[in-house]
Structure 1
Amino acid sequence: MRTLKRLKKNQDFQVVFKEGKSFANRQFVVYVLKQNGKPYSRLGLSVSKKLGNAVMRNHIKRYIKEIFRELSDRLEIGNDYVIISRKPVSIMTHQEMQASLIHVLRKAQVLMDRHGVLR
């Protein structure tokens, strides 16, 4: 399992928003910025206050981080990812979130299948 570092500074988020590409479904918006030469990927999360109180938002963030840890071996190396959660996420289970994130990452063509081919 590779390490996923976190995007924390507003400036880093703004660079990904401005220069990255976005992919979305009903539950998530994923921005992907390819960084050449970096041996690690970085993850940034955005969960709106409209999704619930602090407990609910932290719960959603923990689920997303855990899903990314599980998928880290299949993700393309050296990218910056920013994930924005939409309203339906607040009532989803862990498995539903995982299926939805996998769907968006496949749309972004950054998730490898079990044979190591990007899809």
Structure 2
Amino acid sequence: MEKKVSFSLHKEERIKKSRDFKYVFESGKSLGGVTLALYFILKSNGKPRAGFIASKRFSKKAVDRNRAKRLMREVFRLNKHRLYPCDIVFIAKKGIKGASYFDVEKDFLKLACKAGILREKEC
């Protein structure tokens, strides 16, 4: 019997508290790509969780910041079943402004593979 994959983003799969963000920043590792940067820390059990940051330094326009967070959330939501249990913080970089969903997803999968948090063997 196959395990059913949920593609929704539940409340418990989000990092919301500042202490959780701080823990990932201080204890985790980081990698950077063209469209986003990742801070991550592996956990022994549970589900992958993610937090998303698009600061005013990234763009002064709220429209750009919201679009960047939407893209990052969508990439995480559709690929979370491929990840080991971990906490990830996505940070938008300038390259995400004109990028499509597929550009961001490709960048994320490349970084996740390099980080060792992707379950799939062929990267």
Give the equivalent residue in structure 2 for 1:54: 62
Structure 1 runs not aligned, ≥5 long: none
* Contact 1:29/1:84, CA 8 A, preserved across alignment: yes
Alignment of 1:42-81 (within 5 A): 42-52=49-59, 53-76=61-84, 78-81=85-88
Q: Is the 8 Å Cα contact of residues 109 and 118 (structure 1) preserved in structure 2? A: no
- Which runs of structure 2 are paired with 1:1-119 in the superposition (5 Å)? 1-2=5-6, 5-37=13-45, 39-52=46-59, 53-76=61-84, 78-113=85-120, 117=121
Moved over 4 A (4+): none
TM-score (structure 1 length as normaliser): 0.85
Q: State, as a whole percentage, how many aligned pairs show the same letter.
A: 29
| Partners of 1:118 and 1:36 in 2: CA distance | 23
Structure 2: distance between partners of 1:10 and 1:112:
28
More strand by share: 1
Distance 1:118 1:12 in 2: 31
Q: Give me the CA root mean square deviation.
A: 1.8
